[in-house]
Amino acid sequence: MSFLETYRGTVYRWEVDNVDHFTVAYYFSRFEDATAALLDALGLGRGVLLASGRVAAVAECRVRYQRELRVGDVLHIESAVTAAGDAGLGIVHQVFDSGDGARCTTVTQRVAILDAATRAPAALTAEQQAAARSRTVEWEAEADAPTSNWV
């Protein structure tokens, strides 16, 4: 399977620090947008999960910054699933500078599915796991990427 574009936008003046580098807070806002877009594409959007009394929560996140983004840069994020199981998903995001195509950042996450009321672990259905597995990619660029033992 291939990666899915889950975000595209610009680095604005108010999102950079005093040396014009994109700040961590705004990176994480973009990661949140990309995660939500991927979950929605998998049929696991907020509304679907809440209707079944469940929520998704990022239980672990590992970020590797490889190149700075600066004010005015256009970026896009491509996302995919690396693992799917009863308890949740392993996902990966790649952040690219859309101007030259350089990969700037990678993010691996473990997304847990929880009961909305109790926050106890809740299982994905077999159909939801199958939908997630249909977006699975091999991810070997980083030794600590989410694998099947994460979920």
Domains of the chain with bracketed CATH: 4-150 (3.10.129.10)
Going 20 to 26 to 28 to 33, the CA torsion angle's sign is negative
Instruction: Find out whether 44 and 88 touch, Cβ atoms under 8 Å.
Output: no
Percent of the chain whose pLDDT exceeds 70 = 92
The predicted pLDDT at position 101 comes to 97
Going 76 to 25 to 14 to 66, the CA torsion angle's sign is negative
The predicted pLDDT at position 3 comes to 95
Q: What H or E segment, with its residue span, contains residue 125? A: none
CA distances in angstroms from 90 to 79, 138, 146, listed in the order given: 11, 11, 5
Is the pLDDT at 52 greater than 70? The verdict is yes
Strand partners, 110: 60, 90
Q: What is the pLDDT of residues 7-39, one digit of tens each?
A: 999 999 999 999 999 999 999 999 999 999 999
